[in-house]
Amino acid sequence: MAERAITDEELPVIARFEVRQRSYLAPDGTVLRRLPHFASDTNALVSLYRGMALTRAFDTKAVSLQRTGRLGTYAVSLGQEAVSIGVASAMRGEDVLLPSYRDNAALLWRGVTMEEILLYWGGDERGNHWSGPVHDFPFCIPVGSHAPHAAGVAYAFAVRKQPRVAVCLFGEGATSKGDVWEAMNFAGVHKLPVVFVVNNNQWAISVPLKLQTASETLAQKAIAAGFAGEQVDGNDVIAVRAAAEEAIAEARAGKGPRFIEAVTYRLGDHTTADDAARYRPPEEVQARWKEEPIARLRSYLVGQNAWGKVQEEQLAAECQQLIEVAIERYLATSPRLPETMFDNLYAELPEAYAAQRRELKEASHG
């Protein structure tokens, strides 16, 4: 039988994919398109604004505590407050957050106290024993290694038929790790109620995004796992909140996982142990200050006559007050007995290690 020769151009296209980008507010606070429903309530926007402002004030104080030797290494979210706040504000209390080390703001929003966060970064595990969102995970330090946990948590929700969602936050560096891919892949297969959010702040310590991946977007990585990925302006808290709200609602409704790439910029150092001036020009950082999320939302709110100098001053004073009280409590935390390092190692300390606990107790009590 004679076969017709077909050219490569005539080969059938079997799949096409698109990645959309969401934004509502321009950097100067002007409205680009009709705002999502929740934004019609000015109080809701003010609440997001307060969350971001409190985070920035808290970060500033935390760094000064670190610089004066009263806190350990600390990662600020300067410039990225909209990511943590936008995502956390879209969650329900019974959902489970799996944060990375830069997500102090998300935990604060979910009810972890400032003194608990300070206690953790101050070098005391008791900071992770918070009374707020009891099922939320502690900060994940090994980058991206908590993504499989999110899939496991979501699997548990699915098995128990609970309408809950696991939300996992990580940075763009984490998307280079197999951990994140393996978790996304599994979540896709089982249509799990999990939302992955990447805080794409352009820098993984000193390594820029272009050395992290040649992928046009990070959002498209979800496509290979069989679910939707969306890019949002991560400095537009309305966009982050709207995207997270939609993704979480879909996941809760049993429609499977979602992936959100929040494009933002790390205006600060990686942590207090880093000096970003070693690897990126100050002009780049300076230029990015024009896009930061707090001024953007403020401009919008001011334009709506929903915010002004009086409110701003009042909020600043309120934040200072809350932070001062938290710092006082943190600094007054009673010290732990050395032998308590053995506590909670196992549900019940095996006899094999009880002797070491006694040894430590005797040595430390002189």
Partner 1 sequence: MAEVTLVEAVNLALARALSDDPNVIVLGEDVGVNGGVFRATVGLQQRFGPQRVVDTPLAELLISGLCVGMAAQGLRPVGEIQFMGFIYPCIDQLVNHASRLRNRTRGRLSCPMVLRTPHGGGIRAPEHHSESTEVMLAHIPGLRVVIPSSPERAYGLLLAAIRDPDPVVFLEPTRIYRAAKGQIDDDGEALPLDVAFVLREGQDVTLISWGAMVKETLAAADQLAGDGIRAEVIDLATLKPYDADTILASVQKTGRCVIVHEAARTGGFGAEIAALIAEHGLTSLLAPVVRVTGYDTVIPLPRLEQHYMPSVNRIAAAARKVCQFS
Residues that bind partner 1 (CB under 8 A): 96, 125-126, 128-130, 134-135, 137-138, 141-142, 145-159, 166, 178-179, 182-183, 185-186, 189, 343-347, 350-353
Both tokens of 253, joined, read 């409704």
Instruction: Report strand pairing: 166-171 vs 96-98.
Output: parallel
Report in angstroms how near the CB of residue 95 gets to partner 1 at its nearest.
12
Both tokens of 293, joined, read 């999320």
On whether the CB atoms of residues 197 and 167 are closer than 8 A, the answer is: yes
The dihedrals phi and psi of 278, each to the nearest 5 degrees, come to -70, -25
Here the contacts of 47-50 (C-beta below 8 Å, separation 24 or greater) are 47/89, 48/85, 48/86, 48/89, 48/237, 48/238, 48/241, 48/297, 49/237, 49/294, 49/297, 49/298, 49/301, 49/307, 50/315
* Nearest to partner 1 of 38, 155 (CB atom): 155
Both tokens of 229, joined, read 């990925």
Which residues does 96 contact at the CB level (< 8 Å), separation at least 6?
133, 135, 136, 137, 150, 153, 164, 165, 166, 167
Both tokens of 41, joined, read 């309530």
* Nearest to partner 1 of 156, 315 (CB atom): 156
Report in angstroms how near the CB of residue 27 gets to partner 1 at its nearest.
38
| SS3 category, 129 | coil
* Nearest to partner 1 of 142, 303 (CB atom): 142
* Nearest to partner 1 of 179, 236 (CB atom): 179
* Nearest to partner 1 of 53, 222 (CB atom): 222
Report in angstroms how near the CB of residue 177 gets to partner 1 at its nearest.
9
Q: What is the 3-state secondary structure (H, E, C) of 144-163?
A: CCCHHHHHHHHHHHHHCCCC
* Nearest to partner 1 of 184, 219 (CB atom): 184
Report in angstroms how near the CB of residue 150 gets to partner 1 at its nearest.
6
On whether the CB atoms of residues 81 and 137 are closer than 8 A, the answer is: no
On whether the CB atoms of residues 172 and 102 are closer than 8 A, the answer is: no
Cα 289–chain centre separation:
20
Active-site residues, by number, are 266, 270, 279
Report in angstroms how near the CB of residue 185 gets to partner 1 at its nearest.
6
Report in angstroms how near the CB of residue 277 gets to partner 1 at its nearest.
31
